[in-house]
């Protein structure tokens, strides 16, 4: 006899509206927004799951291998069109301070730019040009 998995139970229990990102159980909307901005679903199996990851499971039939990113950066916007998978490195590239990776090199009197640990973009006279170079590289690295 084949054993039912946790994922199978979730698929049997929940549905979602891909246009709104709302998850339903027995026709009733489920979920709550935490202080961190993410929507969570408390399953009847006493396990809390992130709504955007559950939506990925319900739509594609399996848990995502990587991070699920909110394209518009609104953590509570779980519409399917706003979700994409990214590696952890890709996901961290566009989060937080837009000037991270840009620093002043006082010995050369230039702004230095890097993306992640291994991608050095060079030195710039102008902070604006440094920022534009970083932004262009981040966009290039996105899927």
CATH number at residue 59: 3.90.75.20
Q: Do 71 and 101 fall within a single domain?
A: no
Distance from C-alpha of 135 to C-alpha of 99, rounded to nearest angstrom: 9
Q: Do 70 and 39 fall within a single domain?
A: yes
Give the neighbor-by-neighbor strand order of the sheet with 39-42: 32-33, 39-42, 48-50
- pLDDT number for residue 33: 94
- Say if 1 falls within a structural domain: no
Q: Do 76 and 134 fall within a single domain?
A: no
Q: Do 19 and 76 fall within a single domain?
A: yes
- pLDDT number for residue 2: 62
Q: Do 45 and 101 fall within a single domain?
A: no
Decide which of 43, 64, 86 is a domain's last residue.
Answer: 86
- pLDDT number for residue 119: 81
Containing domain of residue 15, as a range?
Answer: 6-86
Tens of pLDDT along the chain (143 residues) come to: 566 788 999 999 999 998 999 999 999 999 999 999 999 999 987 899 999 999 999 999 999 999 999 988 899 999 999 999 988 777 776 666 667 788 999 999 999 998 877 788 889 999 989 888 888 887 777 66
Of 40, 45, 42, the residue nearest 4 (C-alpha): 45
Q: Do 117 and 80 fall within a single domain?
A: no
- Say if 120 falls within a structural domain: yes
Task: Give the single-character DSSP code of 5.
Answer: P
Q: Output the pTM of the full model.
A: 0.71
């Amino acid at each position: 006899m084949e054993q039912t998995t946790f994922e199978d139970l979730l698929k049997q229990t929940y549905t979602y509206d891909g246009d709104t990102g709302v998850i339903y159980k027995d026709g009733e909307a489920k979920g709550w927004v935490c202080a961190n901005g993410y929507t969570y679903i408390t399953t009847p199996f006493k396990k809390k799951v992130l709504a955007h990851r559950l939506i990925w499971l319900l739509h594609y039939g399996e848990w995502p291998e990587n991070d699920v990113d909110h394209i518009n950066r609104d953590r509570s916007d779980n519409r399917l069109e706003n979700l994409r998978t990214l590696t952890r490195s890709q996901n961290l590239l566009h989060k937080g301070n837009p000037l991270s990776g840009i620093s002043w090199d006082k010995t050369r009197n230039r702004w230095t730019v890097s993306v992640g640990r291994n991608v050095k973009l060079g030195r710039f006279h102008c902070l604006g040009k440094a920022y534009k170079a970083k932004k262009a590289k981040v966009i290039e690295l996105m899927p």
